[in-house]
Structure 1
Amino acid sequence: MEGIDFAMGLNRILLWSANAGLAALCCWIAAGLLADATAELMLPPPTVSAAEAPPPPPPRTWQSRQAILDRNLFKASTTAAEPGEAIEDELAATKLPLRLLGTVAAGMAQRAWAAVEDLEQRQHLVVRVNDRLQDKAEVVRIERRRIVLRNGGRLEELALDEVEPTQGAAAAAARGPRFGRADRRANMASPGAAAERVQRLAENRFGVAREDVESVANNPAALFSQARILPKYDEGKMVGVQLNAIKPGSLFEQIGIREGDTITELNGIQITSQQDSASVLRELTSASAFHVTVTGSDGAVRQLTYEVQ
């Protein structure tokens, strides 16, 4: 019995010793963790001297940015910018047998149009952007005094003839009338025929045939063939359309329009933009009378009235 009691006592001593050792180990580990955490909290935050701080990146100039864009590292397509590509002011004149009669430019390319005479076919045509002339040249742009053509991959221009107002009537008479089949009715084949259709009712008051009005509205190219019609600008602002080189016997001559006159208003529509010119053509198709304000080359203002019969 004494041996058994001795053994059991020894086991208790060993068990207590083991527990005490484990407890001491746990306390030591916990104390180490607590010391590390306390030291980290008590240490001041690291500081970086001005000498060690990295300098800020230099500002990038527009030239450097454009250089990156020009390199086109990702091969981005630039075809979307093609409609707005710059076209040179000086282009070679086209050698196609064409003559520009007039233009109606607009902010939107789809609304612009031009009157062109085909000298081979002796026809007057109304063309817009993307139309083709003589199956060779494509209309690329319509401007105030020219149209730009793409002929065989090359840009060319068809510009208005430069005619001085004082020389307009003489130049028109020297050229003689050039009529195409498409516009003979509106162009009035002879002064006698024009006199029959236009009646002078009173001073600055005329009677015009509905047939002639409809012909002009449906075929504006014929209108441009009877006179040089250009926008009139004063201090950079459009104030109307000026007529020069009026052909003898033309509709303009018969309705009292004189060389150098500027039409500034029709039926209350002030012509201050190319879009207003298009509105005037639409007015021709519906109105039964026209009240036109004209400023002469001498600055005098006249009121002309036309009754559609």
Structure 2
Amino acid sequence: MEALFKKYFWVINLVVLSVVAYLIAQTVVDYFATKYLSTESDDISLTASNTQLVLLEKAEGDRVGEVLTRRRPFNVEPEKKEGGDCKPDCTGKQCGSDGCGGKCPGECADGERCNQESGQCELGDEESRQSKLEIKLLGTWVNPVDPSFRFANVLLKGANTEMLEVGSDVLGEAEVVDILPKFLLLKEGDRLTHVGLWGDAAPKKKAGRIRPMSNNRPKASSSARTTKRGRKPKYDFSKGVKKVGDFDYSIDRQMLNEQLADLTQLGMQARVIPNYRKGKYEGFKLVGVRPGSLYRAIGIRSGDIIRSINGSAINSPNKAMELFTQLRTSSSIKMEVERRGKIETFNYGIQ
């Protein structure tokens, strides 16, 4: 054993020398690190206020401090400007604040209120008046997906049927300001008026939403009467629509007029979505077409895209509504439909 210990005693010497060398090296490193790499606490100034924010101004002198002061990364309260530096700004505003504690010179008309956020005049909360113009609301079409897709079908002076949109002129005496599921809101001079479907009471706007204030129910035709439970009976369109070819149909005029008299109910039979391709309006798509609906009866299926009517391409919402206008007045309609990438031509004869 003693011979073995003497033989490998050099290993013990090597281990001891390694440990001593490591300790010496560590001591030297710690000494120089403390002397040259440490930073006194007095060299760091961290302050935050409404007028100044300075962070660690050590590297590159005052430049870092100036940048951080300007960006204010830790101070969410915006820097207050002096009263003399504020410049009133009413660009694009009809009313409201000018940004400096004052008001923009514009004023809202009667029946309107000022939206302080947008600076625009909006319909007020008061109830509108019944319009005395010779106009009868036949139906409305309000798309919940595209707010610009809102139309009203009206009868003017008991003779002319027209399709109106927001901004349309009515008999040179009023302007359409909004279209709701059962109401047409007009601005006659400085007064807000309305035309209701079936003579409903005036709508009232609350919290940005206009809703009818009355529970009056209209008298519906025999095809549109409801049951005691309030559910609408299923209409048998087979009596008014006859399929005479693969894409050819014959439609009864009286039945069609009854259905078009209530565009709101017709809109519940399918969803109409504007079809855009590469940012351009190319027809409209019908989705969720219900079984037993008028759309199904005339051959339309979910996913179909109506591209043109009587050779006129549908490249705007107004063109889309021409379909319903022509259904009322034309005796024949030729409609181009895209179905699963294939173009089909539907022909309708209305008698």
TM-score by length of 1: 0.50
Paired residue for 2:234, among 190, 197, 214? Answer: 190
Structure 2 residue aligned with 1:257:
300
Q: Encode CA deviations 1:88-135: one digit per residue, 9 max, x unaligned.
A: 9xxxxxxxxxxx97334346265587563xxxxxxxx35446648875
Report the alpha carbon displacement of residue 256 of structure 1 after superposing the two structures with TM.
Answer: 0.5
Q: Deviations over 1:164-207 (max 9, x none)?
A: xxxxxxxxxxxxxxxx863763799436x211211110110001
Return the match for 1:269 from 295, 312, 318.
312
* Larger relative strand fraction: 2
CA contact (8 A) 2:88 2:100 kept: no
* Gapped regions of structure 2 (runs ≥ 5): 1-84, 91-96, 121-139, 144-148, 151-164, 169-174, 187-192, 212-217, 226-231
Deviations 1:26-51 (A, max 9, x none): xxxxxxxxxxxxxxxxxxxxxxxxxx
Structure 1 residues 136 and 299, CA, compared in 2 at 3 Å: closer, same or farther? same
Quick one: which amino acid aligns to residue 239 of structure 2?
E
Query: Residue 229 of structure 1 aligns to which amino acid in structure 2?
Result: V
Cα distance per residue 1:263-305 (max 9 Å; x no partner): 1211233222222233332222211011111112x22211101
* Alpha-carbon distance change, 226 to 182 in structure 1, aligned in 2, over 3 angstroms: farther
Residue 66 of structure 1, CA deviation: 1.9
- Which amino acid is the alignment partner of residue 331 of structure 2? S
For residue 64 of structure 1, the aligned residue among 67, 83, 87 is 87
Pairing partner for 2:343 from 294, 301, 304: 301
For residues 254 and 63 of structure 1, do their structure 2 counterparts lie closer, same or farther at Cα, with a shift above 3 Å needed?
farther
Structure 1 residue 238 displacement after superposition: 1.8
1:247/1:183 Cα in 2 relative to 1: closer, same or farther (>3 Å)?
Answer: farther
1:108 to 167, 187, 192: 167
Are 2:321 and 1:278 equivalent residues in the alignment? yes
Q: Tell me how many residue pairs correspond in the alignment.
A: 194
For the Cα contact (< 8 Å) 1:186–1:222, is it kept in 2?
no
SS in 1 for 2:87: helix
> How many Å separate the matches in 2 of 1:244 and 1:111?
29
Separation in 1 of the partners of 2:177 and 2:303?
24
* Percent identity of paired positions between Structure 1 and Structure 2: 19
The root-mean-square deviation of aligned C-alpha atoms, in Å, is 4.2
Q: Which has the higher helix share?
A: 1
Compute the displacement of 1:208 (Å): 0.5
Partner of 2:51: none
1:246 matched to 2:284? The reply is no
Tell me how far 1:244 sits from its aligned partner. Answer: 1.4
Cα distance in 1 for partners of 2:286, 2:347 equals 18
* 1:155 aligned residue: 208
Alignment partner of 1:304: what SS?
strand
The structure 2 residue matched to 1:288, chosen from 325, 331, 340, is 331
In the alignment, is residue 78 of structure 1 matched against residue 131 of structure 2? Answer: no
CA contact (8 A) 2:237 2:292 kept: yes
TM-score, with length taken from structure 2: 0.45
Report the CA distance between 1:79 and its aligned residue. 2.0
CA distance in 2, matches of 1:248, 1:182: 22
> In the alignment, residue 105 of structure 2 is paired with which amino acid?
A
* In 2: Cα distance, 1:278 partner to 1:210 partner: 19
Letter in 2 for 1:304: F
1:241–1:273 distance in 2 versus 1, CA, 3 Å: same
Contact 1:245–1:259 under 8 Å retained in 2: yes
Q: Which aligned pairs between 1:1-309 and structure 2 lie closer than 5 A?
A: 64-66=87-89, 69-70=98-99, 76-79=105-108, 86=118, 102-103=142-143, 104-105=149-150, 106=165, 108=167, 110=175, 114=179, 116=181, 125=182, 127-128=184-185, 131=194, 137-138=203-204, 150-151=205-206, 154-156=207-209, 182=220, 185=223, 189-190=233-234, 193-296=236-339, 298-309=340-351
Aligned residue for 2:55? none
Structure number with greater Rg is 1
**C-alpha distance in 2 between matches for 1:84 and 1:261:** 43
AA aligned to 1:185 is S
Q: Is the partner of 1:303 in helix, strand or coil?
A: strand
1-structure distance, mates of 2:269, 2:142? 11
